[in-house]
Amino acid sequence: MISTVKSFSVGYNPINEANVFSSGDFITGQVTLEVNKDTEVEALTVKLKGKAEVKWTERQGKRTVSYYSKEKYFTIKQFLIQEAHGKKLVSEGSTVYPFTFQIPAKDLPPSFKSTWGKIVYTLEANLCRSMRMDSTAKAKLNMVLKTYTGSDPTLMVPQHGTTEKKMKLFNSGYVAMDVDIDKSGFQPGEGIKVMVSIHNKSSREVRPKYCVYRKYSFFAKGKRKVATKEVLKEVGDAVPPSAGQTVTRILTVPISTHPSFFNCNIIKAEYRLKVYLDVKYASDPQIKFPVVILPIAQSFDTNIRPTYGFDSFPPTGNDSNSYSPYSGVATALSSSSFL
């Protein structure tokens, strides 16, 4: 049996070149319904939803224990064809139903996806017809934090750390290190200025090393799962025995680095800068600083084409009036799929 619905899609109009939104923004979009003949529709709705989920498993002896938690932020629903008003006849061809939403103006975490958790914001259109299964079309939105450097003065405060280690076993003497960074908040693509003063009073050369790593935490049922991964790593020049050296290193934050966020109860994304001395035959003295990766500020642009999500009924043939079923949302974090 050939369906009377040829295509059904939901799309929105980007407000900037990066195709991202933040809390308080307005979203304008369209639900497009194309039918092969006049069709009775009971209801047509569109929702804007935001939620976070975490899920992982752990082995406890012979048992496998699952951990799951969910946090809902909002669900806003609009009727484009009202169910209470009886069936409505939709004429053959393509009909566009415009809509407007405002994202709630509250502290919302950014879009996020990893192996054990995700934060998603979705437009979902639903078509209800008598004696037929409901049809659904979705489009994902990419949300970013609205907090920037100027709004939090603590991100501009310098940090200082010092450490000293006495050598044992195959080494003698001691090594000491002082490290300074001029602030705590950095955007992707920005350089972290690291000033290191090394005092090598040992019998072996030492080599400074620099590492920025991310730390993702997931929470469910009173348990926490932590996943860490290096974002960047660099190695400095060796400092010979009985010598001192002061160096300045610029570490560029990779442009693809996901912003830090702390405003989700079940997922947290944070970063650390670790500076340490590589010493042979000894544990490495190290200093760690918390750093905050900020979202990149976006500019408004009205000359951008609408973005459509995945059709419930993909267009067929070479109909020039049909919309392509693609998602224009860039993935916030390149990672493995959510389990």
Q: What is the pLDDT of residue 335?
A: 30
Is residue 18 within 8 A of residue 298, CB to CB? The reply is yes
Q: Taking Cα atoms as reference points, which of 151, 144, 187 lies closest to residue 22?
A: 144
For residues 89-108, give the mean pLDDT.
Answer: 94
For residues 82-88, give the mean pLDDT.
Answer: 74
Lowest mean pLDDT of 114-123, 133-142, 216-225, 322-331, name the range.
322-331
What CATH number labels 149-293?
A: 2.60.40.640
Q: Is the pLDDT of residue 311 over 90?
A: no
Q: What is the pLDDT of residue 170?
A: 65
Q: What is the pLDDT of residue 85?
A: 66
What is the pTM assigned to this prediction? 0.80
Question: Residue ranges per domain, the chain?
Answer: 5-144+298-308, 149-293
H and E: helices and strands count for the chain: 0, 20
The model's pLDDT over 280-305, given as tens digits with 9 standing for 90+, comes to 877 889 999 999 999 886 554 444 45
What CATH number matches the domain at 5-144+298-308, 2.60.120.40, 3.30.360.10, 3.40.50.620, 2.60.40.640? 2.60.40.640
For 84, phi then psi, to 5°, come to -75, -15
Neighbours of 145 (CB within 10 A): 18
DSSP for 166-228, written as a single string: E--TT--EEEEEEEEES-SEE-TT-EEEEEEEEEEEESS-EEEEEEEEEEEEEEETTEEEEEE
For residues 229-242, give the mean pLDDT.
Answer: 95
The model's pLDDT over 192-221, given as tens digits with 9 standing for 90+, comes to 999 999 999 988 899 999 999 999 999 999
Same topology between domain 5-144+298-308 and domain 149-293: yes
Q: What is the pLDDT of residue 57?
A: 95
Q: What is the pLDDT of residue 1?
A: 52
